[in-house]
């Protein structure tokens, strides 16, 4: 467990969270739409794909084929889900964030 944990970038973190949130329905189109919804900023498929494959390479995300989908013209699609390592990385990121934010929530809100 002493394995060095990779620091997640903000972008990666966003994607991992999106996968977690979408559960069984996490594939590239829903992922992009979800991120767009919460950040109010459109990211393109190219960077999304690149990040996803980086995450797969690091072992945080795994992909599998779904059953044929009528929505996709009867074709299969690639679904993404988190690996245990992915969950651990997220947890770690959350912990760091929590510590970093500790006691500052109010201050930042008053800034408005």
Partner 1 sequence: MKPSRSKFPKFGDWLLRLFARYDVNPHLRGDFDEEFSFIYETKGYGRAWFWYWTHLLRSLPVFIKDILYWRFVMYKNYLKTALRSLKRHKVFSFINIIGLSVGLACCILILQYIKHEFSFDKFHENSGYIYRILQHQKGNIYQGTDIFNTTPAILAPSAREDFPHDAKLTRVKNYERQVRFDNKQFYEKRFLYAEQEFLDIFSFPVVKGNPKTALKEPNTVMITREMAQKYFGEKDPLNKIINIDNKQDYRITGVLENVPDNSHLKFDFLASFSSLLSTWGQNQLTSWQNSSVRTYIKLNKNSSPQKFNSQLKKYDTVGFGGHPASFHLQPLLDIHLGHKVAFDLPGKGDMRYIYLYSAITLFILLIACFNYMNLSIARSFSRGKEIGVRKVVGAKRKSLISQFLGESLVLSLFSLVLALFIVRLALPVFNYLIGRNIQFDLLTNIVFVFCLIGLGIFAGLIAGIYPAIFLSSFKPTTVLKGRSESISKSTTSLRNALIIVQFAVSVCLIICALVINQQLHYIKNTKLGLDKDSIITIPMPNKRMWEKYNVFKSELSQQANILDITASKSLPTEIDNTAQVRLGGKNQGETLRVWVNWVDFNFIDFYKMNIVQGRNFIKESPQDLENAYIINETAAKAVGLEDLRGKKLGRGQIIGVVEDFHFAPLHSEIQPLVLMLDPGSLKVLSVRINSNDISNTLSFIQNKWKRIFPDFPFVFSFLDERIESMYETEMKLGQSFNYFTLIAILLSCLGLLGLASYMAEKKTKEIGIRKVLGATVPNILVLLTREFTRFVFLANIIAWPIAYFAMNKWLQSFAYRIDIGLWIFAVSSLLALFMALLTVSYQSIKAATANPVDSLRYE
Contacts of 8 (CB under 8 A, 6+ apart): 16, 89, 90, 93
Whole-angstrom Cα distance, residue 33 to residue 11? Answer: 15
By CB under 8 A, residue 43 contacts partner 1: no
By CB under 8 A, residue 29 contacts partner 1: yes
By CB under 8 A, residue 73 contacts partner 1: yes
Sign of CA dihedral 103, 98, 13, 75: negative
Q: Tokens standing for 109?
A: 């809100």
Taking contact as CB under 8 A, which single stretch among the options 1-9, 73-81, 82-90, 103-111 is the one that binds partner 1? 73-81
The DSSP 8-state label assigned to residue 60 in this structure reads S
By CB under 8 A, residue 28 contacts partner 1: yes
By CB under 8 A, residue 65 contacts partner 1: yes
Positions that interact with partner 1 (CB under 8 A): 27-29, 33, 45, 65, 69, 71-73, 75-78
């Amino acid at each position: 467990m002493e394995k060095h944990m990779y620091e997640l970038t903000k972008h990666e973190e966003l994607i991992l969270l999106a996968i977690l949130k979408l559960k069984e329905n996490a594939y590239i189109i829903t992922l992009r739409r979800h991120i767009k919804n919460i950040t109010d900023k459109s990211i393109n498929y190219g960077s999304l794909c690149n990040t996803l494959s980086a995450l797969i390479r690091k072992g945080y995300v795994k992909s599998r084929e779904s059953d044929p989908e009528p929505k996709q013209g009867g074709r299969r699609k690639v679904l993404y889900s988190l690996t245990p390592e992915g969950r651990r990385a997220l947890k770690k990121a959350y912990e760091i964030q929590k510590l970093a934010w500790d006691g500052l929530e109010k201050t930042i809100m008053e800034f408005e």
